[in-house]
Structure 1
């Protein structure tokens, strides 16, 4: 097909880990196919009185530590100049990020193919979206009320996981056993004295064996990683010290993926990473899901190729105006 102009709204390109970063893998695949790769940061996005535009860098990329990209040129472009726009800014999903998802929709003429759709990202909080499927999840509570949380902790024989609603990378996740003398203090700390709601989930003992990050492209599972926590931690997140292992998808994993597929497609959530502990869905990650490079290595797949396939197909199907 004809070369596309593909934009990436992302964190500074200087900071990416070339051997791990999923966005960088997507950029490499787009470039390999002859597409023009433009990158810009959230702070470079603006509204010019008629439409959204951004200062963008046309780059070439290579998997070489320390010299992994070159800037060919830098100019301001309206977002309508893009055929595809990857929204890959890492969390936190704060007010500035939400404002950016609104700005990128303000295009005159043809809008780019969004991966993922801005409205879908806004609607699908990574901790809360899974609550649409309570039968797939561990027993869960969302509240800021200390008595409710303390009662929940007291009733879970295997223990309780507490985590901030907008947390990421394993930050702020606590494990509390029933009868833990730190429970009240931990709840007060995480809720900021009852001012912020948190997620409380019954602890799944199988989590010691690792949690699965399953990558879905256009609703279909294409690869996965079993993230195993270190011996002195309960978190499997690779950012928190977990190590990647080959994941074998079970019938239950595939059932979860199939249940999610219609809603993900409906909302334009084309690249998603779901987290599964044992038989339970815990999170649906839609902002900048990671694990592509690890899944490729462990499963012998090329997740980014599947993603760019979808981007090319949707770009070709766009109406003329």
Structure 2
């Protein structure tokens, strides 16, 4: 995937049909709420539409299954208009079996709650009925975004996962400056930094730990966060040549864009490339067509698999058409599975 790709594709909606136009179903949050100037799912849709693929959408709660039948969903066929406002037109809702689509793309944003978990089981049933689902439902369940890093200790900093307040206090005493986060947070939600003075450590433990009922992740604070929390995208097992560094602003410790971080696209460093080359084939083999590996300095901090983002920011700043790389990988995967 070396070098900027397909920079001419930004303008317009070229409807040149590919040799094999496909029906694609996006399982996502309500499309009416998309912020299309930055939404990665929209970027995927736009590139698929440009190639002549047909698009449909549904929300997870619109899927259902009954004995004797297949997993079906109440879907809407949509067409992109090319306008910034009223960016799509939709047909009337209809019931369709997931297995009748060429591919189903699970793009529901976190949190990974019980309903998301149940949705992966419906999607896995649809797979048994012949559906091709990306990312693979079992892989979504097997790679919780905070805990997936445990498999790769050679790439992470000092990290603790526990329910025990005393474990957290010992970890803090050892490392002095730490980050505490809930395992089900997203967008930087619920992240705390505690310095050497231990200010508010007890209160933060009580807030996150909920009296021992909730596990907490604690990591040694990495001062390299000042240079950005980098999102390294892995598509089809290979790292995209550019990452997006989310840089904390002002007194904020979080670089997440949702928390006000500034996104700056950069070429991968040698370490970023090493991480992507090591993790990429493993994640791809497990059915993760797309993953977002978060890196601070030289250390992996999270592996995002539910709905990784940053396609549009990287394209706008570098000309590397990440959406085109993704649809390339999607088409290749579908062709291989159809053989």
Q: Shorter-chain-normalised TM-score: which range?
A: over 0.9
TM-score under structure 2 length normalisation: 0.91
The offset of 1:83, in angstroms, is 0.4
The offset of 1:26, in angstroms, is 0.5
Distance 2:338 2:23 in 1: 17
The C-alpha deviation readout for 1:121-145, integer Å capped at 9, x for no partner, is 0000000111101121010000010
Aligned partner of 1:71 in structure 2 is 90
Q: Which runs of 4+ in 1 moved over 4 A?
A: none
The offset of 1:66, in angstroms, is 3.0
The C-alpha deviation readout for 1:247-284, integer Å capped at 9, x for no partner, is 23111111111111232122110111110000000110
Distance 1:217 1:201 in 2: 27
What is the alpha-carbon root mean square deviation over aligned residues?
1.4
The offset of 1:63, in angstroms, is 5.1
What residue ranges of structure 1 are gaps of 5+ in the alignment? none
Aligned partner of 2:227 in structure 1 is 209
Aligned partner of 2:180 in structure 1 is 162
Q: What is the DSSP-based 3-state SS (H/G/I as helix, E as strand, rest coil) of the residue aligned with 2:239?
A: strand
Aligned partner of 2:167 in structure 1 is 148
Aligned partner of 1:36 in structure 2 is 54
TM-score under structure 1 length normalisation: 0.96
Aligned partner of 1:111 in structure 2 is 130
* Residue 306 (str. 1) matches residue 325 (str. 2): yes
The offset of 1:114, in angstroms, is 1.9
CA contact (8 A) 1:105 1:111 kept: no
Number of residues of Structure 1 aligned to a counterpart in Structure 2:
319
Following superposition of structure 1 onto structure 2, how do residues 1-321 of structure 1 map, counting pairs within 5 Å? 1-49=19-67, 50-62=69-81, 64-107=83-126, 111-157=130-176, 159-222=177-240, 223-319=242-338
CA contact (8 A) 1:57 1:74 kept: yes
What residue ranges of structure 2 are gaps of 5+ in the alignment? 1-18
The offset of 1:154, in angstroms, is 1.8
Moved more, 187-196 or 36-45: 187-196
